[in-house]
Amino acid sequence: MNRGYFSRAGLIIGLVFLYVPILSMVVFSFNNSRLVTVWDAANSPTLKWYVALLSNAPILRAAWLSIRVAASAATGAVVLGTLVGIVLARFGPFRGRTLLSAMTTAPLVMPEVITGLSLLLLFVALEQLIGWPRGRGMLTIILAHITFTMSYVAVVVQSRLAGFDESLEEAAMDLGARPVTVFFRITLPLIIPAIVSGWLLAFTISWDDVVVSQFVAGPASTTLPMVIFSKVRLGVSPDVNALATLMVSIVALGIVASSVWMHALTKRREREAQLAVAANQ
Amino acid sequence: MQALRKHAGRRLVIAVPYLWLIVLFLIPFIIVFKISFSETRMAMPPYAPLIEWRDGAIVGIKLYFSNYSFLFTDRLYASAYLYSIKVAAVSTLWCLLIGYPMAYAIARSTAAWKNLLLMLIILPFWTSFLLRVYAWIGLLKSNGVINNVLLALGIIHEPLTLMQTDFAVYVGIVYSYLPFMILPLYANLEKHDATLLEAAADLGARPWRAFLRVTLPLSMPGVMAGCLLVFIPAVGEYVIPSLLGRTDQLMIGRVLSDEFFANRDWPVASAVAILILVLLVVPIMLFQRVQKSELEARP
């Protein structure tokens, strides 16, 4: 089975390729030298870039704006994206279904410069036409982010629903449950994991976006990626390494915590199911 | 009565996201198309209306094709356009060559390893894209990590120029988009029936031959999905070439944003966007077909 060795070697090299840049940022965030990539062994490790980062008011302000934008956008995207996912997975054929599915998949691959430009031109045209949204800022960033992150939620929800057949929902209907009741008692609990991961995905994509935000943000609202982008365009700066390390640690902790939680949840479900079976016998 | 209410509820559930997408996704493209035929003006917004209204009646429609003829006559735009296609195609190929063995190895591992490996593939995707591209500046600079290591090992005697080259852009795009190649490939390879390979082996096929004749053809939908997920956004990539790429040869996404931000020429920026869309419309439609069959052909 030399093919097995070949692909395994490829996997290891690929993982090294994925992680070496991240690790290098983590290592150099503790470097004393301003030259970033030259290790100053005498005075390192140091936390001075973390101190510099946490006392940098523009970065903190931008981070706070980004958190609010990402949380609002993810929440809006979850509501709209879940609706789309349910419609595409459960509603069968209806007029305009093809268009809806096209408008859901296209944003997944649309180059960001085009999304950004087109949304900005829409906001400008709307302001001329109906006077809303007045100017550009946090609101326009949130609207733009909802629009291109809801597709990700829709895909996650749709593929989760595709994994279950409709018999549970049909059974509830046959027993006389109203559609709203069926949704809240049957469908929603089934897709809760998809909704949670959809929210996190939308949050991350919004939190990370620089191109679309650059187009639709007004002069007064600068998100964190916009600050980072303008900083790193001028060259590497060590406090960005510190920021990267903080973000990577938060994500890694979050992923470990969520997988532990998911594991516990599945275990509890299985136990409850076993208890239910035992009680029936 | 209940049937009627059910019907109304169903319509509402469809209508809300539908309207949102029409207003914020479809109509913006129509506006871009419209503005690409407008005349540039020194005003806010910096373009002239196409349709002249007077006393509630249309008195004239002016279409300016000069934005497009401008793009076709100036060599800068044509070369940026072709360069973007080349960069996206080469990066997609590299993603496939690196991603396929990885996806294959994950699909063949045990269940416990599968989850761990998938998590390792997805984890970088959850961390900031911008910061991951930035990390490559530190690695590729002339006094960066790669050059320092190669110099210390005595493999090279002068620092290599790695930044602001085609190579740097390929590395940046392959690095950022690799998970988008691996995940659809894995989803496809994971469904394959191992007995097919056993049958091929029983019939005397060597592993490589079985791979080329059985696994590879069966994995074509995954290859398609992965390649389209990389190629389409890579054509319009803006951040990676801005941070790592050449300064003497721009990609089309950079040209669009320079026209918009630096030159404040909204009509030409719109015309550039339309030309990118013309290039991408067939790949996007292909992607939709692959995506649709992937999402609807589940048990």
ipTM of the assembly?
A: 0.90
Q: Does B108 sit within 8 Å of A7, measured CB to CB?
A: yes
pLDDT in tens, A24-42: 888 888 887 776 666 777 7
The C-alpha of B24 sits at a distance from chain A's nearest C-alpha, in angstroms, of 7
Q: Does A18 sit within 8 Å of B121, measured CB to CB?
A: yes
Lowest mean pLDDT across A110-119, A213-222, B58-67, B131-140: B58-67
Minimum-distance CB partner of B127 among A22, A91, A235: A22
pLDDT at B188 over 80: yes
Per-chain mean pLDDT for chain A: 88
Domain ranges of chain B: 69-296
B193 CB neighbour count, 10 Å cutoff: 10
User: Which chain A residue's Cα is nearest to B276?
Assistant: A114
All residues of chain B having their beta carbon less than 8 Å from the beta carbon of residue A10 are: 98, 100-102, 104-105
A14's tokens: 């690929």
Per-chain mean pLDDT for chain B: 88
Mind listing the domains of chain A with CATH numbers?
1-46+236-281 (no CATH), 54-235 (1.10.3720.10)
Superfamily of domain B69-296: MetI-like (1.10.3720.10)
Q: What count of residues does chain A have? A: 281
- pLDDT (0 to 100) of residue B299: 41
Q: Does A113 sit within 8 Å of B135, measured CB to CB?
A: no
Q: Which of A75, A279, A115, A70 is nearest to A195 (CA)?
A: A75
All residues of chain A having their beta carbon less than 8 Å from the beta carbon of residue B283 are: 109
Q: What does the DSSP assignment read for B204-237?
A: T--HHHHIIIIIHHHTHHHHHHHHHHHHHHHHT-
pLDDT in tens, B243-279: 999 999 999 999 999 999 998 899 999 999 999 999 9
Cα separation, A155 vs A150, in Å, equals: 9
Rg (CA), chain A: 24
Q: Does A240 sit within 8 Å of B134, measured CB to CB?
A: yes
Between the two ends of chain B, the Cα-to-Cα distance in Å is 34
Integer angstrom CA distances of residue B48 from A126, A247, B51, B116, B270: 16, 45, 9, 56, 13
pLDDT in tens, B59-89: 666 777 888 888 888 888 999 999 999 999 9
Its pTM stands at 0.90
Cα separation, A82 vs A42, in Å, equals: 55
Cα separation, A201 vs A142, in Å, equals: 15
pLDDT in tens, A263-273: 788 788 888 88
Q: Does B21 sit within 8 Å of A147, measured CB to CB?
A: yes
Minimum-distance CB partner of A91 among B14, B126, B137: B14
Q: What does the DSSP assignment read for A40-107?
A: -TTT-S--HHHHHHHT-HHHHHHHHHHHHHHHHHHHHHHHHHHHHHHHHHHS---TTHHHHHHHHHHH
- What are phi and psi for residue A263, nearest 5 degrees? -60, -45
Q: Does A106 sit within 8 Å of B284, measured CB to CB?
A: yes
- pLDDT (0 to 100) of residue B297: 56
- pLDDT (0 to 100) of residue A1: 44
Q: Does B102 sit within 8 Å of A11, measured CB to CB?
A: yes
User: Which chain A residue's Cα is nearest to B295?
Assistant: A159
Confidence band (pLDDT; 50, 70, 90) for B223?
Answer: very high
What mean pLDDT comes out for the span A196-225?
Answer: 92
Residue percentage of chain B with pLDDT more than 70: 92
Q: Does B175 sit within 8 Å of A3, measured CB to CB?
A: no
A230's tokens: 């303008």
User: Which chain B residue's Cα is nearest to A162?
Assistant: B298
Lowest mean pLDDT across A92-96, A187-191, B63-67, B223-227: B63-67
Residue A219: burial class (beta carbons within 10 Å; 0-12, 13-18, 19+): exposed
Confidence band (pLDDT; 50, 70, 90) for B291?
Answer: confident
What mean pLDDT comes out for the span B160-189?
Answer: 94
Q: Does B280 sit within 8 Å of A111, measured CB to CB?
A: yes
DSSP type of residue B245: S
All residues of chain B having their beta carbon less than 8 Å from the beta carbon of residue A144 are: 24
All residues of chain B having their beta carbon less than 8 Å from the beta carbon of residue A84 are: 17
- What are phi and psi for residue B51, nearest 5 degrees? -110, 125
Q: What are the CB-based long-range contacts (under 8 Å, 24+) for B92-95? A: B92/B227, B92/B230, B92/B231, B92/B234, B94/B170, B94/B174, B95/B173, B95/B174, B95/B177, B95/B178, B95/B180, B95/B181, B95/B226, B95/B227, B95/B230
- pLDDT (0 to 100) of residue A80: 97
